Structure 1
């Protein structure tokens, strides 16, 4: 029987959260009336994640990478490997709530030109997180600088399925034929803005993206924004700038840099008097936004990790 839907999970050093994710997939898989498969791509984890995935009864295939690579490359690999007509891309820290898969599948199946659909993301306490937005531009940066982002930029509101610009890939159902048509994800985006670029290229090719509020997924966010390492800030900033330079003019990219830096500078000032906020984190956003080509990001961190994995070489080029 042809596979209708492939559950595609990317995991990096999070075996505990991976179990929650796979358990939720098992519950979902038991309720759907179509053929499905589960593929886990492990991003060179060293914490036993491969063993956890291999032993889990719901998993059909485990791709264990020998070296670490970026999210865009991992999602592209999964989309190419999957057999399903649709692929549900999941982070290891995403836990599907009952009915999430059916709701996403129904939304895409009812709209022939929908290339992707995103779930409503909620925190473990049930509070909704923003999960759909307008495409980045000088105008959206201005709205954010004026503190109008909740009404003018965030699009994950309402109770009905609707078209949006882009959705977060923590729980995103993709029509595999549409992804193949546009060449999957752009691996120049190591992580962050990869799904923004993906949805933009879907739009440019005549597809659109849906937000599906009846589909809910708990987003555990193993790396909370309250304690963001410097490399994540650098990576986030450089890929926002990469997106702007790819899809907009030089002037627009510069405008976004300065408007975004101003927004973080105001937050840094506020953090001096508001308890529980770290002004140094916001100031790091300011410097990385204004100079996105400087500093080391997650790509460099992965390269360092991979070098540590490589065996040492002797003086003649042979393994010691």
Structure 2
């Protein structure tokens, strides 16, 4: 049966954060249904071993739990949820995203008011409540140059202001998607295991005549487990790999080459500054430099998932 809104959560080994996020969804669901809209809640567990499946099945807000028997990438998991969803809108959420009161209603209102919008991203908050950048211009040599000149916050970041506005792309940690638009462009590209998947998704929406919105009145706390958790080496490799994959998919070889070198230069400068600035690790910035210049080398999160699926290293 068709519904108005599907809450769609992907969880990977984060039971406590998952339950916290589902509690927030329960409150949002009650508020949305009080307006007459119908909803459902789907959770996809990405082959967790920490009791997440049982916690999801036991939660009163959850209608259906999909269990992966193998660890899969974010784009593939988000696509599966969107395909299984009965809602005309699907609210993609990470397990580490916690909706603030009224966020869902604000996102729905934004898409209802703009029939040409294919997606709408919430304003993400750090756990301390401060805003974090969550919408940007599409990556190009120009945005890479802005980064090299340390003008990215002024030129590239688009999540600013207190009004709903068009942006190039928004982070998918809390993104409402028009399922009709997602189906039209062939969902998310599974070649992006994680990182740049939503950039490519929003780019293809744009090429198909849709656009993406940034909705500052919709807020969600983002605990950033994926970006700050374990295995930083593999995360750096995956980030660099998929940045380059996006450029090669949507731009020329020359443009991809320019972005590599400008981005590497930016990280090199940061590594030098980190030597004298407390709280920064110059070695990590240097690893970004090498991974950016050689994106096809090293093992990323995709390889870590393969190892885990074979019974080896865990993510």
Structure 2: how far apart are the matches of 1:10 and 1:180?
19
1:52 equivalent to 2:55? Answer yes
CA distance in 1, matches of 2:98, 2:166: 24
Q: Residue 236 of structure 2 aligns with which residue?
A: 233
User: Deviations for 1:178-199, whole angstroms, at most 9, x for unmatched residues?
Assistant: 0000000000000000000000
Answer whether contact 1:94 1:171 (CA < 8 A) is retained: yes
1:261–1:204 distance in 2 versus 1, CA, 3 Å: same
1:194 and 2:206 matched = no
Secondary structure, counterpart of 2:219 in structure 1:
strand
Match of 1:75 among 59, 78, 95: 78
| Within-5 A mapping of 1:169-318 | 169-223=172-226, 225=228, 229-308=232-311
Distance 1:266 1:174 in 2: 37
Aligned-residue offset at 1:228: 6.1
Whole-angstrom distance in 2 between the partners of 1:36 and 1:143: 42
Q: Which residue of 2 aligns with 1:109?
A: 112
Q: 145, 151, 155: which is aligned to 2:154?
A: 151
1:40 is matched with 43
Structure 2 residues not aligned, in runs of 5+? none
Tell me the residue number matched to 1:316: none
Q: Is the 8 A contact 1:119 1:215 kept in 2?
A: yes
> 1:211 is paired with a residue of what secondary structure?
strand
Would you say the 8 A contact 1:9–1:40 is kept in 2?
yes
- Give the equivalent residue in structure 2 for 1:62: 65
Q: How does 1:13-24 map to 2 (within 5 A)?
A: 13-24=13-24
Root mean square deviation of aligned Cα:
1.1
> Residue 10 of structure 1 aligns with which residue?
10
CA contact (8 A) 1:20 1:95 kept: yes
- How big is each residue's C-alpha offset from its partner over 1:219-259, in whole Å with a ceiling of 9 and x where there is no partner? 01124549761000000000000000000000000000000
Q: Find the residue that maps to 1:260 and give its secondary structure.
A: helix
Deviation at 1:169, TM superposition (A): 0.2
Residue 30 of structure 2 is matched in structure 1 by 30
Aligned residue pair count? 309
Counterpart Cα distance in 2 of 1:263 and 1:226: 23
Per the alignment, in what secondary structure is the counterpart of residue 9 of structure 1?
A: strand
| Equivalent pair of 1:117/1:212 in contact (CA under 8 Å) | yes
Consecutive unaligned residues of structure 1, counting only runs of 5 or more, are: 310-320
- CA 1:59/1:158 → structure 2, altered by over 3 Å: closer, same or farther? same
Give, in whole Å, the separation in 2 of the partners of 1:78 and 1:55: 20
Give the Cα–Cα distance (whole angstroms) in 2 for the partners of residues 118 and 7 of structure 1: 14
Q: Measure the CA separation in 1 of the matches of 2:123 and 2:288.
A: 27
Contact 1:228 1:281 in 2 (8 A): no
C-alpha displacement of 1:2: 3.5
Cα displacement string for residues 22-67 of structure 1 (whole angstroms, at most 9, x for unaligned residues): 0000000010121000000000000000000000000000001000
Aligned partners of 1:2, 1:152: CA distance in 2, in Å? 41
Within-5 A mapping of 1:119-158: 119-158=122-161
Normalised TM-score (structure 2):
0.96
Q: Is the 8 A contact 2:227 2:235 kept in 1?
A: no
SS at match of 2:54: helix
TM-score, normalization by structure 1:
0.95
Larger Rg: 1
